[in-house]
Structure 1
Amino acid sequence: MADLPSTMTAVVVRGKEDYRLEQVPVPQPGPKEVLVKVLAVGICAGDAKTFDGATRFWGDGKDIPCYVEPPVIPGHEFSGEVVALGEGAAIHHGVEIGDLTVSEQIVPCHDCRYCQRGQYQMCIPHDVYGFHQVTQGAMTQYLLYPAKALVHKVPKTVDPFHACFVEPLACSLHAVELGNIQFNDIVVVSGCGPLGLGMVAGARQKSPKCLIALDMQDWKLEVAKKCGADIVLNPSKVDLQQEIKTLSEGFGCDVYIEATGHPSSVVQGLNCIARMGRFVEFSVFGKEVSADWSIISDTKELTIVGGHLGPNCWPKAIAMIAENTLPMDEIITHRFKMINFLEGIKMVLKGTDSIKIMLIPEN
């Protein structure tokens, strides 16, 4: 620790639309804790919606509690080089000084009902990097992995910026698993942002009969083709329901994975999906979404599955990144210095000119 600075520059969340660059202490690793130098950090749509004041994160003062615990450093998509180890940390986490690592965004308690069942993504304490006091995030220079963190080594041949994409890809793979994709399925992925493109790549590995990607931006659809989509459609330019009926002999798609976070995509999916189809919802919405539940029940008898985080999918995500399965240099469209974090957040909120935006920690 002698060679490390005592303070570091960090983005600090103080409130809605109140994010500041501040000097904060460099954390010191305690027993079984790991200190990493942050090499890259992504801006998630959830980060942008938090900045924008989404009820999901700030609560409504009534039924929805506040999820964010300011002041807190944001950032849960990251890669980091191990620079210091607390007592017992090397054996506990299986890492050494100099290792390239990622850590799952949730630091579970390992003790609650869900953790005991292996469903740690639903852990009751639910401490996530970048949102809670005990799990400060990565929009800074150094990051502490707590003793209970789920840490993974990444081959050093992997670009640290590519390694940063392991987090959203693991989430995408979880959504694909929830869809229970079969060989004869027609699968639709709605949205070709970071999560959607990861879902396309993951669904491709399941070898469905037909894999269709949807997006309102044609240039993103071209990237989806490189991720494995058989067919790409722009809902603003075609009669989507009719197109999918034509491709499915009139039945509709068997699996619809929603990855836009826009209410219209939910309604669209309910209309396009086949009877007894499987609808996977994997988005954070800025507000409540209304839909005709009679379609879910009486009309189509659908299976609706919600997805959260990427439990048990991180090793596969790391392998896919290491094997260059995805066109990472086209998915990572922008890199900003940390001082320009606000420009990056606003670009994520706009959504039309970027896919994955990453920040470069200050030196």
Structure 2
Amino acid sequence: MAQQVKAVVAHAVGEPVRIETITVPDPGPGEAVVKVQACGVCHTDLHYREGGINDEFPFLLGHEAAGIVESVGEGVTDVAPGDFVILNWRAVCGQCRACRRGRPWYCFDTHNAKQRMTLADGTELTPALGIGAFAEKTLVAAGQCTKVDPSASPAAAGLLGCGVMAGIGAAINTGNVGRGDSVAVIGCGGVGDAAIAGARLAGAERIIAVDIDDEKLRTAIRIGATHSVNSRKEDAVERIRELTGGFGADVVIEAVGRPETYEQAFYARDLAGTVVLVGVPTPEMKLELPLLDVFGRGGSLKSSWYGDCLPSRDFPMLIDLYRQGRLDLDAFVTETIALDEVEQAFTRMHEGRVLRSVVQF
């Protein structure tokens, strides 16, 4: 039987979000209903509200979530009612050319639930990243549910569903950071700090945090950076080179998504080094680099989409590291809030006052 639950809905560009009663249908074939326990407030949700993703209003916001599977539809075998899961927005198809080549983290045909959740009047909702987890319960494709150890804190575990996984994966999966490497991370918000945590996990010897905010740099040091650079006060490229014997970092991770910071990343890397773009640019942004420099410096220029993660592989592993005390996911949870505090959380996030606000049910 369909259920009515409370949820956060964005109705128009720039309008404050509202708490609405929505209808969650019973799961159909390949689908699952999840009782949400916690959901992080991510900048992508604000992008949705501001019309920066598309114009398919009304949006059911929220996507960095963990919870308990309540029911599953026909044909679902990987998860069952009662399982503690992290939600992801990359339910791989298993059939596309990437999946068939053994690279499912690049799946070109990921999918979401076929049914739509609705407002009380029947208006269909567009769930953020196919999840919509600022809600007491949500409907997703079963492949969007990754079973993990239930002893993990839902508030911490849910963050792997987006920003923290994006940062850790940018370092480990995309950047291939290895033992003894030098790494610079430009932009120390939630994703950048997660990249720092990922570099530390991978055994990087020197991890340089770059930002224009001293408080963010202090947080980056607590997360695992060995050095910090305030690029408002000094030349970031020159300082990174000074800290790496004059050469530049082996891997530079750009977690801002702006042309000027990407250019810093490009010139702050060592010859044959790697640049990883994980910050999300806006459509109008353009990048201009001398082609001779691109050729002459060698190395790799990569983009990292969702940390090139495979949830079924990466989420359980990272939760195990969290339980062992080797990955401090709790450090990313600045505050826990109620469902009706999401709008205020957007303001604090925009002002850079939090790593993550987490809605806790």
What's the TM-score, normalizing by structure 2? 0.84
CA distance 1:353–1:314, change in 2 (3 Å): same
CA distance 1:327–1:237, change in 2 (3 Å): farther
Compute the displacement of 1:307 (Å).
0.7
Task: Name the counterpart of 1:137.
Answer: 132
Q: 2:270 is paired with a residue of what secondary structure? A: strand
Task: Name the counterpart of 1:334.
Answer: 335
Matched residues in 2 for 1:358 and 1:205: separation? Answer: 24
Matched residues in 2 for 1:47 and 1:127: separation? Answer: 19
Task: Name the counterpart of 2:39.
Answer: 41
Summarize the alignment of residues 3-22 of structure 1 with structure 2, pairs less than 5 Å apart: 6-18=3-15, 19-22=17-20
Matched residues in 2 for 1:44 and 1:185: separation? Answer: 30
Percent identity, please. 28
Counterpart among 145, 154, 175 of residue 151 in structure 1: 145
Task: Name the counterpart of 2:174.
Answer: 178
- 1:163 aligned onto 2:157: yes
CA distance 1:87–1:113, change in 2 (3 Å): same
Q: 2:130 is paired with a residue of what secondary structure? A: coil
Structure 1 range deviating more: 215-224 or 74-83 = 215-224
Summarize the alignment of residues 289-304 of structure 1 with structure 2, pairs less than 5 Å apart: 289-294=285-290, 296-304=293-301
Structure 1 range deviating more: 197-206 or 208-217 = 208-217
- 1:216 aligned onto 2:206: no
Asked whether the 8 Å contact 2:87–2:158 carries over to 1, the reply is no
1:28 partner amino acid: D
Compute the displacement of 1:309 (Å).
1.3
Give the count of matched residue pairs: 342
Asked whether the 8 Å contact 2:48–2:128 carries over to 1, the reply is no
CA distance 1:52–1:348, change in 2 (3 Å): farther
Q: 1:293 is paired with a residue of what secondary structure? A: coil
Asked whether the 8 Å contact 1:223–1:331 carries over to 2, the reply is no
Q: 1:93 is paired with a residue of what secondary structure? A: coil
Summarize the alignment of residues 1-363 of structure 1 with structure 2, pairs less than 5 Å apart: 6-18=3-15, 19-54=17-52, 57-58=53-54, 69-89=56-76, 92-97=77-82, 99-127=83-111, 135-147=130-142, 149-167=143-161, 168-176=163-171, 177-294=173-290, 296-310=293-307, 311-312=309-310, 313-350=314-351, 352-361=352-361
CA distance 1:159–1:182, change in 2 (3 Å): closer
Structure 1 range deviating more: 276-285 or 22-31 = 22-31
Matched residues in 1 for 2:50 and 2:263: separation? Answer: 24
Task: Name the counterpart of 2:122.
Answer: none
Structure 1 range deviating more: 6-15 or 191-200 = 6-15
Q: 1:106 is paired with a residue of what secondary structure? A: coil
CA distance 1:251–1:292, change in 2 (3 Å): farther
Structure 1 range deviating more: 250-259 or 266-275 = 266-275
CA distance 1:207–1:264, change in 2 (3 Å): same
Compute the displacement of 1:131 (Å).
5.6
1:322 partner amino acid: R
Matched residues in 1 for 2:61 and 2:44: separation? Answer: 10
Asked whether the 8 Å contact 2:89–2:129 carries over to 1, the reply is no
CA distance 1:127–1:133, change in 2 (3 Å): farther
Asked whether the 8 Å contact 2:24–2:139 carries over to 1, the reply is no
Asked whether the 8 Å contact 2:318–2:327 carries over to 1, the reply is no
Note the residue ranges of structure 1 that are not aligned, 5 or more in a row.
59-67
Aligned residues: CA RMSD: 2.6
Q: 1:164 is paired with a residue of what secondary structure? A: helix
Asked whether the 8 Å contact 1:169–1:317 carries over to 2, the reply is no
Compute the displacement of 1:8 (Å).
1.0
Structure 1 range deviating more: 266-275 or 15-24 = 15-24
Matched residues in 1 for 2:286 and 2:206: separation? Answer: 29
Compute the displacement of 1:262 (Å).
3.5
Structure 1 range deviating more: 124-133 or 303-312 = 124-133
Tell me the alpha carbon deviations over residues 75-132 of structure 1, each in whole angstroms, 9 at most, x when there is no partner. Answer: 221001122233453xx124342x3211222223332223333444544444469965
